[in-house]
Protein backbone atom coordinates (compact mmCIF):
# COMPACT_ATOMS: atom_id res chain seq x y z
CA UNK A 1 0.00 0.00 0.00
CA UNK A 2 1.09 3.53 -0.75
CA UNK A 3 -0.11 6.47 1.31
CA UNK A 4 0.09 9.93 -0.20
CA UNK A 5 -0.82 13.24 1.31
CA UNK A 6 -2.06 16.22 -0.69
CA UNK A 7 -1.26 19.91 -0.65
CA UNK A 8 -1.55 23.10 -2.65
CA UNK A 9 1.40 24.53 -4.57
CA UNK A 10 2.95 27.08 -2.20
CA UNK A 11 6.47 27.42 -3.66
CA UNK A 12 8.04 29.01 -0.59
CA UNK A 13 6.78 26.16 1.60
CA UNK A 14 7.51 23.24 -0.71
CA UNK A 15 10.96 22.26 0.55
CA UNK A 16 9.95 22.25 4.22
CA UNK A 17 6.66 20.47 3.54
CA UNK A 18 8.38 17.79 1.46
CA UNK A 19 11.08 17.16 4.06
CA UNK A 20 8.53 16.85 6.84
CA UNK A 21 6.30 14.61 4.75
CA UNK A 22 9.15 12.24 3.96
CA UNK A 23 10.27 12.18 7.59
CA UNK A 24 6.72 11.39 8.73
CA UNK A 25 6.66 8.21 6.65
CA UNK A 26 4.42 9.20 3.74
CA UNK A 27 5.10 7.64 0.34
CA UNK A 28 4.31 10.73 -1.71
CA UNK A 29 2.76 14.15 -2.15
CA UNK A 30 0.03 15.06 -4.63
CA UNK A 31 0.01 18.74 -5.63
CA UNK A 32 -3.02 20.53 -7.06
CA UNK A 33 -2.94 22.39 -10.36
CA UNK A 34 -5.33 25.33 -10.23
CA UNK A 35 -3.67 28.48 -11.56
CA UNK A 36 -6.13 30.96 -10.06
CA UNK A 37 -6.08 29.47 -6.56
CA UNK A 38 -2.52 28.17 -6.05
CA UNK A 39 1.00 28.43 -7.37
CA UNK A 40 2.49 26.26 -10.11
CA UNK A 41 2.69 22.55 -9.19
CA UNK A 42 5.77 21.87 -11.30
CA UNK A 43 7.76 24.53 -9.44
CA UNK A 44 6.61 22.98 -6.16
CA UNK A 45 7.50 19.45 -7.28
CA UNK A 46 10.92 20.53 -8.53
CA UNK A 47 11.79 22.11 -5.19
CA UNK A 48 10.40 19.11 -3.34
CA UNK A 49 12.42 16.73 -5.49
CA UNK A 50 15.78 18.30 -4.72
CA UNK A 51 15.03 18.36 -0.99
CA UNK A 52 14.02 14.69 -0.61
CA UNK A 53 15.40 11.30 -1.58
CA UNK A 54 12.55 8.74 -1.54
CA UNK A 55 9.33 10.76 -1.56
CA UNK A 56 7.28 10.33 -4.73
CA UNK A 57 5.69 13.39 -6.33
CA UNK A 58 2.61 13.94 -8.49
CA UNK A 59 0.30 16.46 -10.04
CA UNK A 60 -2.99 15.81 -8.31
CA UNK A 61 -4.38 16.69 -10.69
CA UNK A 62 -3.57 18.59 -13.84
CA UNK A 63 -6.11 18.91 -16.66
CA UNK A 64 -6.27 18.66 -20.47
CA UNK A 65 -7.27 22.25 -21.20
CA UNK A 66 -4.84 24.65 -19.53
CA UNK A 67 -1.71 22.71 -20.59
CA UNK A 68 -0.92 21.22 -24.01
CA UNK A 69 -0.03 17.49 -23.78
CA UNK A 70 3.46 18.15 -25.16
CA UNK A 71 4.06 20.76 -22.46
CA UNK A 72 2.77 18.44 -19.74
CA UNK A 73 4.91 15.55 -20.99
CA UNK A 74 8.03 17.71 -21.22
CA UNK A 75 7.52 18.97 -17.66
CA UNK A 76 7.02 15.39 -16.48
CA UNK A 77 10.23 14.22 -18.16
CA UNK A 78 12.16 17.10 -16.56
CA UNK A 79 10.87 16.25 -13.10
CA UNK A 80 11.40 12.53 -13.66
CA UNK A 81 15.07 13.25 -14.34
CA UNK A 82 15.39 15.74 -11.49
CA UNK A 83 13.79 13.39 -8.95
CA UNK A 84 15.56 10.25 -10.09
CA UNK A 85 12.38 8.52 -11.24
CA UNK A 86 9.88 9.64 -8.58
CA UNK A 87 7.46 11.59 -10.80
CA UNK A 88 3.82 10.64 -11.41
CA UNK A 89 1.35 12.51 -13.63
CA UNK A 90 -2.12 12.76 -12.16
CA UNK A 91 -4.76 13.85 -14.67
CA UNK A 92 -8.42 14.77 -14.41
CA UNK A 93 -11.00 16.59 -16.53
CA UNK A 94 -10.44 19.85 -14.64
CA UNK A 95 -12.55 21.55 -12.00
CA UNK A 96 -11.50 24.75 -10.24
CA UNK A 97 -8.75 25.47 -12.82
CA UNK A 98 -11.41 25.65 -15.52
CA UNK A 99 -14.20 27.15 -13.40
CA UNK A 100 -11.99 30.18 -12.78
CA UNK A 101 -11.69 30.55 -16.55
CA UNK A 102 -15.44 30.39 -16.89
CA UNK A 103 -15.41 26.81 -18.16
CA UNK A 104 -16.83 23.44 -17.14
CA UNK A 105 -14.70 20.26 -17.09
CA UNK A 106 -13.23 19.05 -20.39
CA UNK A 107 -15.49 17.14 -22.75
CA UNK A 108 -15.03 13.38 -22.63
CA UNK A 109 -13.80 12.98 -26.20
CA UNK A 110 -11.25 15.77 -25.72
CA UNK A 111 -10.13 14.22 -22.44
CA UNK A 112 -9.63 10.76 -23.95
CA UNK A 113 -7.74 12.12 -26.95
CA UNK A 114 -5.52 14.15 -24.64
CA UNK A 115 -4.79 11.09 -22.51
CA UNK A 116 -3.88 9.05 -25.58
CA UNK A 117 -1.55 11.81 -26.82
CA UNK A 118 0.02 12.24 -23.39
CA UNK A 119 0.76 8.52 -23.13
CA UNK A 120 2.25 8.60 -26.63
CA UNK A 121 4.61 11.42 -25.70
CA UNK A 122 5.63 9.69 -22.48
CA UNK A 123 6.28 6.45 -24.38
CA UNK A 124 8.60 8.22 -26.82
CA UNK A 125 6.21 8.17 -29.78
CA UNK A 126 5.32 10.95 -32.16
CA UNK A 127 1.90 12.58 -32.17
CA UNK A 128 0.31 13.77 -35.45
CA UNK A 129 -0.18 17.51 -35.74
CA UNK A 130 -3.79 17.29 -36.85
CA UNK A 131 -5.16 16.20 -33.46
CA UNK A 132 -4.17 19.17 -31.32
CA UNK A 133 -7.20 21.36 -31.75
CA UNK A 134 -5.11 24.53 -32.11
CA UNK A 135 -7.33 26.97 -34.03
CA UNK A 136 -5.92 28.72 -37.08
CA UNK A 137 -6.81 32.09 -35.59
CA UNK A 138 -4.39 31.33 -32.76
CA UNK A 139 -1.54 29.91 -34.85
CA UNK A 140 -1.68 28.92 -38.56
CA UNK A 141 -0.02 25.73 -39.90
CA UNK A 142 3.78 25.82 -40.20
CA UNK A 143 3.53 25.29 -43.96
CA UNK A 144 2.85 29.01 -44.31
CA UNK A 145 6.48 29.68 -43.38
CA UNK A 146 7.77 27.78 -46.45
CA UNK A 147 10.71 26.39 -44.45
CA UNK A 148 13.26 24.08 -46.05
CA UNK A 149 12.23 21.33 -43.64
CA UNK A 150 9.83 20.90 -40.72
CA UNK A 151 9.04 18.12 -38.22
CA UNK A 152 6.55 15.55 -39.50
CA UNK A 153 5.08 14.91 -36.07
CA UNK A 154 5.31 16.22 -32.53
CA UNK A 155 7.59 14.46 -30.04
CA UNK A 156 9.62 15.26 -26.93
CA UNK A 157 12.96 15.13 -28.70
CA UNK A 158 15.15 16.04 -25.76
CA UNK A 159 13.98 13.15 -23.54
CA UNK A 160 16.70 10.48 -23.19
CA UNK A 161 15.96 7.10 -24.75
CA UNK A 162 16.50 5.32 -21.44
CA UNK A 163 14.19 7.62 -19.46
CA UNK A 164 11.82 5.65 -17.25
CA UNK A 165 8.18 5.94 -18.29
CA UNK A 166 6.34 8.49 -16.16
CA UNK A 167 3.20 6.73 -14.91
CA UNK A 168 -0.14 8.41 -15.58
CA UNK A 169 -2.99 8.19 -13.09
CA UNK A 170 -6.50 9.34 -13.90
CA UNK A 171 -8.81 10.67 -11.20
CA UNK A 172 -12.21 9.22 -12.03
CA UNK A 173 -15.70 9.38 -10.52
CA UNK A 174 -18.37 8.77 -13.18
CA UNK A 175 -18.61 5.58 -15.23
CA UNK A 176 -17.49 7.15 -18.52
CA UNK A 177 -14.33 8.67 -17.06
CA UNK A 178 -13.63 5.44 -15.17
CA UNK A 179 -13.92 3.70 -18.52
CA UNK A 180 -11.47 6.09 -20.18
CA UNK A 181 -9.02 5.55 -17.31
CA UNK A 182 -9.40 1.78 -17.61
CA UNK A 183 -8.54 1.94 -21.30
CA UNK A 184 -5.53 4.24 -21.15
CA UNK A 185 -4.19 4.99 -17.66
CA UNK A 186 -1.43 3.28 -15.71
CA UNK A 187 -3.61 3.54 -12.61
CA UNK A 188 -7.27 4.33 -12.01
CA UNK A 189 -7.60 6.71 -9.05
CA UNK A 190 -11.21 6.41 -7.90
CA UNK A 191 -12.71 9.56 -6.41
CA UNK A 192 -15.95 8.02 -5.17
CA UNK A 193 -15.49 8.19 -1.40
CA UNK A 194 -14.46 5.55 1.14
CA UNK A 195 -17.69 3.54 1.18
CA UNK A 196 -16.65 -0.02 0.17
CA UNK A 197 -19.79 -0.43 -1.96
CA UNK A 198 -18.83 2.59 -4.04
CA UNK A 199 -15.22 1.45 -4.36
CA UNK A 200 -16.29 -2.01 -5.55
CA UNK A 201 -18.71 -0.40 -8.02
CA UNK A 202 -15.92 1.75 -9.48
CA UNK A 203 -13.60 -1.24 -9.83
CA UNK A 204 -16.31 -3.29 -11.54
CA UNK A 205 -16.99 -0.46 -14.02
CA UNK A 206 -13.26 -0.22 -14.78
CA UNK A 207 -12.83 -3.95 -15.28
CA UNK A 208 -15.81 -4.14 -17.62
CA UNK A 209 -14.50 -1.21 -19.68
CA UNK A 210 -11.00 -2.69 -19.85
CA UNK A 211 -12.35 -6.04 -20.99
CA UNK A 212 -14.52 -4.43 -23.67
CA UNK A 213 -11.46 -2.56 -24.97
CA UNK A 214 -9.33 -5.70 -25.11
CA UNK A 215 -7.23 -4.88 -22.04
CA UNK A 216 -6.81 -7.60 -19.45
CA UNK A 217 -8.75 -6.42 -16.37
CA UNK A 218 -6.17 -8.15 -14.19
CA UNK A 219 -3.58 -5.60 -15.32
CA UNK A 220 -5.52 -2.66 -13.84
CA UNK A 221 -4.09 -0.90 -10.82
CA UNK A 222 -6.44 0.94 -8.47
CA UNK A 223 -5.98 3.84 -6.12
CA UNK A 224 -8.54 5.89 -4.23
CA UNK A 225 -8.84 9.43 -2.98
CA UNK A 226 -10.27 9.17 0.53
CA UNK A 227 -11.23 11.90 2.98
CA UNK A 228 -9.79 10.97 6.37
CA UNK A 229 -9.80 12.77 9.73
CA UNK A 230 -8.15 10.99 12.64
CA UNK A 231 -9.83 12.32 15.79
CA UNK A 232 -11.09 10.68 19.00
CA UNK A 233 -13.95 13.19 18.97
CA UNK A 234 -16.09 12.18 15.98
CA UNK A 235 -18.07 15.44 16.03
CA UNK A 236 -14.89 17.52 15.92
CA UNK A 237 -13.47 15.28 13.20
CA UNK A 238 -16.54 15.72 11.03
CA UNK A 239 -16.26 19.49 11.27
CA UNK A 240 -12.59 19.40 10.29
CA UNK A 241 -13.39 17.22 7.29
CA UNK A 242 -16.47 18.93 5.87
CA UNK A 243 -14.65 21.31 3.53
CA UNK A 244 -12.50 18.77 1.64
CA UNK A 245 -15.21 16.11 1.83
CA UNK A 246 -17.68 18.46 0.15
CA UNK A 247 -15.11 19.16 -2.58
CA UNK A 248 -14.69 15.47 -3.44
CA UNK A 249 -18.27 14.34 -2.87
CA UNK A 250 -19.48 16.97 -5.34
CA UNK A 251 -17.71 15.13 -8.16
CA UNK A 252 -20.32 12.37 -7.84
CA UNK A 253 -23.07 14.87 -8.66
CA UNK A 254 -21.22 17.28 -10.95
CA UNK A 255 -24.13 17.68 -13.36
CA UNK A 256 -26.97 16.82 -10.99
CA UNK A 257 -27.08 13.07 -11.69
CA UNK A 258 -25.46 10.95 -8.99
CA UNK A 259 -22.73 8.51 -10.02
CA UNK A 260 -22.35 5.26 -8.16
CA UNK A 261 -24.52 3.41 -5.62
CA UNK A 262 -26.31 5.60 -3.06
CA UNK A 263 -29.38 5.23 -0.88
CA UNK A 264 -32.02 7.93 -0.53
CA UNK A 265 -30.24 9.72 2.31
CA UNK A 266 -27.00 9.87 0.36
CA UNK A 267 -28.79 10.94 -2.81
CA UNK A 268 -30.30 13.87 -0.94
CA UNK A 269 -26.87 14.99 0.24
CA UNK A 270 -25.28 14.63 -3.20
CA UNK A 271 -28.08 16.70 -4.74
CA UNK A 272 -27.77 19.30 -2.00
CA UNK A 273 -24.05 19.64 -2.74
CA UNK A 274 -24.78 20.15 -6.42
CA UNK A 275 -27.35 22.85 -5.69
CA UNK A 276 -25.29 24.73 -3.09
CA UNK A 277 -21.73 24.43 -4.34
CA UNK A 278 -19.87 27.74 -4.21
CA UNK A 279 -16.65 27.67 -6.25
CA UNK A 280 -15.52 30.82 -4.43
CA UNK A 281 -15.32 28.67 -1.27
CA UNK A 282 -13.85 25.64 -3.04
CA UNK A 283 -12.73 23.13 -0.40
CA UNK A 284 -13.05 25.65 2.41
CA UNK A 285 -14.55 25.13 5.82
CA UNK A 286 -17.72 27.17 6.15
CA UNK A 287 -18.66 27.17 2.47
CA UNK A 288 -22.41 26.88 2.10
CA UNK A 289 -22.00 23.55 0.32
CA UNK A 290 -20.79 22.01 3.59
CA UNK A 291 -24.22 22.56 5.13
CA UNK A 292 -25.50 19.76 2.90
CA UNK A 293 -23.20 17.20 4.57
CA UNK A 294 -25.05 15.33 7.30
CA UNK A 295 -23.22 13.46 10.05
CA UNK A 296 -24.42 10.17 8.59
CA UNK A 297 -23.06 11.09 5.17
CA UNK A 298 -19.69 12.09 6.65
CA UNK A 299 -19.42 8.78 8.46
CA UNK A 300 -20.12 6.80 5.30
CA UNK A 301 -18.47 8.78 2.51
CA UNK A 302 -15.40 9.76 4.55
CA UNK A 303 -13.37 8.05 7.27
CA UNK A 304 -13.65 9.86 10.58
CA UNK A 305 -12.69 8.51 13.98
CA UNK A 306 -9.85 7.31 16.22
CA UNK A 307 -6.66 5.83 14.84
CA UNK A 308 -7.73 2.21 15.14
CA UNK A 309 -10.97 2.80 13.26
CA UNK A 310 -9.22 4.75 10.50
CA UNK A 311 -6.62 2.01 10.06
CA UNK A 312 -9.27 -0.73 10.02
CA UNK A 313 -11.36 1.00 7.35
CA UNK A 314 -8.34 1.71 5.15
CA UNK A 315 -7.11 -1.89 5.54
CA UNK A 316 -10.51 -3.12 4.37
CA UNK A 317 -10.30 -0.98 1.22
CA UNK A 318 -6.82 -2.40 0.61
CA UNK A 319 -8.27 -5.90 0.82
CA UNK A 320 -10.67 -4.92 -1.97
CA UNK A 321 -7.71 -4.07 -4.22
CA UNK A 322 -6.79 -0.45 -3.51
CA UNK A 323 -3.00 -0.17 -3.66
CA UNK A 324 -2.63 3.60 -3.35
CA UNK A 325 -4.47 6.01 -1.07
CA UNK A 326 -4.57 9.73 -1.74
CA UNK A 327 -5.43 10.87 1.77
CA UNK A 328 -7.38 14.11 1.67
CA UNK A 329 -7.76 15.78 5.05
CA UNK A 330 -6.00 17.97 7.56
CA UNK A 331 -2.22 17.74 7.45
CA UNK A 332 0.53 18.68 9.86
CA UNK A 333 1.02 22.18 8.42
CA UNK A 334 -2.65 23.17 8.29
CA UNK A 335 -3.60 26.59 9.55
CA UNK A 336 -5.49 25.57 12.70
CA UNK A 337 -3.99 23.74 15.67
CA UNK A 338 -6.86 21.21 15.58
CA UNK A 339 -6.18 20.39 11.94
CA UNK A 340 -2.43 20.09 12.51
CA UNK A 341 -3.05 17.75 15.41
CA UNK A 342 -5.36 15.55 13.32
CA UNK A 343 -2.78 15.37 10.53
CA UNK A 344 -0.06 14.44 12.98
CA UNK A 345 -2.23 11.73 14.53
CA UNK A 346 -2.71 10.11 11.13
CA UNK A 347 1.04 9.99 10.46
CA UNK A 348 1.96 8.92 13.99
CA UNK A 349 -0.86 6.51 14.85
CA UNK A 350 -2.52 5.32 11.64
CA UNK A 351 0.37 4.85 9.22
CA UNK A 352 2.39 2.59 11.58
CA UNK A 353 -0.61 0.28 12.01
CA UNK A 354 -0.87 -0.13 8.24
CA UNK A 355 2.87 -0.68 7.74
CA UNK A 356 3.01 -3.81 9.91
Provide CATH code, domain 2-136+154-234+304-355: 3.20.20.30
* Total Cβ atoms within 10 A of residue 354: 15
* Total Cβ atoms within 10 A of residue 88: 24
pLDDT value for 147? 93
Q: pTM value?
A: 0.96
pLDDT value for 246? 94
CA angle in degrees (0–180, nearest 5) for 158-159-161: 120
- What average pLDDT does range 259-277 have in this prediction? 96
Residue 247's contacts (CB-CB under 8 Å, 6 or more residues apart) are: 282, 283, 328
Residue 187 has pLDDT above 80, yes or no: yes
- What average pLDDT does range 179-183 have in this prediction? 98
Q: Please, what is the average pLDDT of the chain?
A: 95
pLDDT value for 160? 84
pLDDT value for 284? 76
pLDDT value for 356? 72
Residue 333's pLDDT band (boundaries 50, 70, 90)? low
Name beta bridge partners: 127: 154
Which of 67-81, 92-106, 277-291 has the lowest average pLDDT? 277-291
Residue 336's pLDDT band (boundaries 50, 70, 90)? confident
Among 143, 305, 176, which Cα is nearest to 251's? 176
Which of 288-292, 318-322, 331-335 has the lowest average pLDDT? 331-335
CB of 44 within 8 A of CB of 22?
A: no
pLDDT value for 101? 97
pLDDT value for 281? 84
- What average pLDDT does range 87-94 have in this prediction? 98
pLDDT value for 162? 83
CB of 344 within 8 A of CB of 299?
A: no
Amino acid sequence: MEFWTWTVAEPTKSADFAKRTEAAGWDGIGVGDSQSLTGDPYVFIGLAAVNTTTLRLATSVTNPVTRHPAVTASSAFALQRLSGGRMVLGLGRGDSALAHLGRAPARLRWFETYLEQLQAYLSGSGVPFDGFGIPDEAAPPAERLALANTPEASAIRWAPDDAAKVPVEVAATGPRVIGIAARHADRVMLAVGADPKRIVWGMDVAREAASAAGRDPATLSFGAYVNVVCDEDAAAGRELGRGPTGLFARFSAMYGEVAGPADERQLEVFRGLHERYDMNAHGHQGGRQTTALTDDFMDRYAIVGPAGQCAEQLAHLAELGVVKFGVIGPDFVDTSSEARAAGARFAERVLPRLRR
